[in-house]
Amino acid sequence: MKTVAFYTLGCKVNQYETEAMGELFQKSGYEIVDSESRSDVYVINTCTVTNLGDRKSRQFIRRSKKINPEAIIAVVGCYAQTSPDEVLSIEGVNIILGTNDRNKIVEYVENIQADHEKINAVEDIMQIKEFEEMTIGEIKGKTRAFLKIQEGCNQYCTYCIIPYARGPIRSRKLEDIIKEVERLAENQFKEVVLTGIHVASYGKDLKDTSLLDVIRGAHKIDGIERIRLSSIEPTVATEDFIQEISKLKKVCPHFHLSLQSGCNETLKRMNRKYTAEEYKEIVERLRRYMPDLSITTDVMVGFPGETDEEFDSTYNFVKEIGFSQIHVFKYSPRKGTPAAKYKNQVPSEIKNKRSEKLLQLAQESAIKYNERFIGRTKSVLFETSSDSLDGYFEGLTDNYIRVFCKAHEQVEGRLINVSLDELHGESMIGHLKDEA
């Protein structure tokens, strides 16, 4: 049997697309093997959000060729889309495929096997107007399912390469989304995470369809107990939107609201579509409707022109909001974006200091949020046995607290009420009570 190995970088959307490509190979008679193993085909699904993603992609291409010099190397995804000539020039690459037509990957591999010519199948992504349906049919071995509902982004933040890598917004048909949610329920999944490149823009290219319609449709499906949204723009959380989802009991009280900066001057240079005051108002609105709400976010440090005063504004704003988790990252210039040409680039040593300060605040903020729940009982969806705590299983509450519990039986895939007893770093330890 022919073999294929996958190496995936980047976001949950990439992970979803890798799973879909894997299924295409399996249907064509391939066995999927570990990325460290010798394989006939290696597929590298790339990320280009940072220079690090590009570098890791190149390293894996070279490593794969060392493992099997005769292997076919297919490079797909965002790095391939934005830098096709650079990727094709890497020794050993046979196929490059961008962020469209992934459904044809097996066909391209078979063509390489027949005539050994390199294939560059990268298209002009800005001309693609239809969502590429990449269905995952046979889903097994997991408890939370990531479901891609949308592609592309029209926001054009000045630091971000993604609109150029993924193209304009394209929304998946509502009926196709609901069919996949039904399949997930049949496969015993309890939670579905609606994901995409810019989920908040879902439906803007369709007639009379919105993100709220997707949530309502998924909510009706028996067997699905939780609906979670991946990262969304704050501006989607209008009064009407929040009011409606607060009535839907399966919607998790957890929102990842991308912040990037708590300083209005920085937000303006970033071309973000809100002010710090508007962001705060949205958070307060959400908390009025969902008292146990978890707000997680991303914060960038060292954006070009960020002064000490601007960073202090962000730091104080983040402290005031009280996030449950914060992903802190340092600005990295991306060729082809406006911010890469901005003057007043912030030196690395300053970025590092600001990052360390915010990371410390992030830890304190997570602990402070979790402390509120000591002694409370919460429903936990258990995912796997713990690697770090012997005899323990781990899972998530609906408000995104990671919980560890000792169990003498298999609890994976089950929703169980847990008494939250004590902090464990930024997570919690509890004991099982009863089936939720």
Question: How does pLDDT run across 334-372, given as a tens digit for each residue?
Answer: 989 999 999 999 999 999 999 999 999 999 999 999 999
CATH architecture type of domain 3-123 = 3-Layer(aba) Sandwich (3.40)
**Separation CA 32–CA 42 (nearest Å):** 10
Query: Quick one: pLDDT band at residue 115, thresholds 50, 70, 90?
Result: low
User: What pLDDT, on a 0 to 100 scale, did the predictor assign at position 139?
Assistant: 59
SS3 408: coil
Q: Where are the domains of the chain?
A: 3-123, 144-371, 377-435
Tell me phi and psi for residue 246, to 5 degrees.
-65, -20
Q: What's the pTM? A: 0.91
User: What pLDDT, on a 0 to 100 scale, did the predictor assign at position 118?
Assistant: 86
Containing 219, the helix (H) or strand (E) segment is helix 211-219
Q: What percent of the chain has a predicted confidence (pLDDT) above 90? A: 83
CA angle 192, 198, 204 (to 5 degrees): 100
**Separation CA 272–CA 258 (nearest Å):** 10
User: What mean pLDDT value characterizes the chain?
Assistant: 93
Residue type, 161: I
User: What pLDDT, on a 0 to 100 scale, did the predictor assign at position 112?
Assistant: 85
pLDDT digit string, tens, across residues 270-302: 999 999 999 999 999 999 999 899 999 999 999
Shortest CA distance to 178 belongs to which of 170, 186, 166, 167? 186
Enter the CATH code of domain 377-435.
2.40.50.140
| pLDDT average, residue stretch 390-412 | 93
DSSP code, position 34: -
Concatenating the DSSP letter of every residue in 269-335 gives: HHT-SS-HHHHHHHHHHHHHH-TT-EEEEEEEE--TT--HHHHHHHHHHHHHHT-SEEEEEE----T
Structure-model confidence comparison of residues 379 and 208, the more confident one: 379
Query: Quick one: pLDDT band at residue 426, thresholds 50, 70, 90?
Result: very high
pLDDT at 192 over 90: yes
Would you say 47 and 53 are in contact if contact means Cβ atoms under 8 Å apart? yes
Concatenating the DSSP letter of every residue in 224-246 gives: --EEEE-SB-GGG--HHHHHHHH
| pLDDT average, residue stretch 111-127 | 85
pLDDT digit string, tens, across residues 83-114: 999 998 898 899 999 999 999 999 999 988 76
Residues contacting residue 268 through CB under 8 Å, at least 6 positions apart: none
pLDDT at 436 over 60: no
SS3 419: strand
Q: Where are the beta strands (DSSP E) in 14-80?
A: 31-33, 41-46, 72-77
CA angle 49, 346, 261 (to 5 degrees): 60
Residue type, 413: G
User: What pLDDT, on a 0 to 100 scale, did the predictor assign at position 53?
Assistant: 82
User: What pLDDT, on a 0 to 100 scale, did the predictor assign at position 113?
Assistant: 73
CA distances from 137 to 191, 195, 372 (A): 17, 17, 40
The pair of structure tokens assigned to 85 is: 């000539």
Would you say 266 and 306 are in contact if contact means Cβ atoms under 8 Å apart? yes
Query: Quick one: pLDDT band at residue 388, thresholds 50, 70, 90?
Result: confident
pLDDT at 3 over 90: yes
pLDDT at 141 over 60: no
Q: What's the distance, Cα to Cα, between the start and end of the chain in Å?
A: 44
pLDDT digit string, tens, across residues 297-345: 999 999 999 999 999 999 999 999 999 999 999 999 998 999 999 999 9
Rg of the Cα atoms in the chain: 22
Residue type, 48: T
Would you say 60 and 93 are in contact if contact means Cβ atoms under 8 Å apart? no
Rank 83-92, 118-127, 251-260 by mean pLDDT and report only the highest: 251-260
| pLDDT average, residue stretch 373-397 | 94
| pLDDT average, residue stretch 128-150 | 82
Would you say 434 and 409 are in contact if contact means Cβ atoms under 8 Å apart? no
Fold of 144-371: pyruvate-formate lyase- activating enzyme (3.80.30)
Residues 147, 282, 324, 272, CA torsion sign: positive
User: What pLDDT, on a 0 to 100 scale, did the predictor assign at position 135?
Assistant: 76
Helix 239-246 and helix 276-289, axial crossing angle in degrees, nearest 10: 20
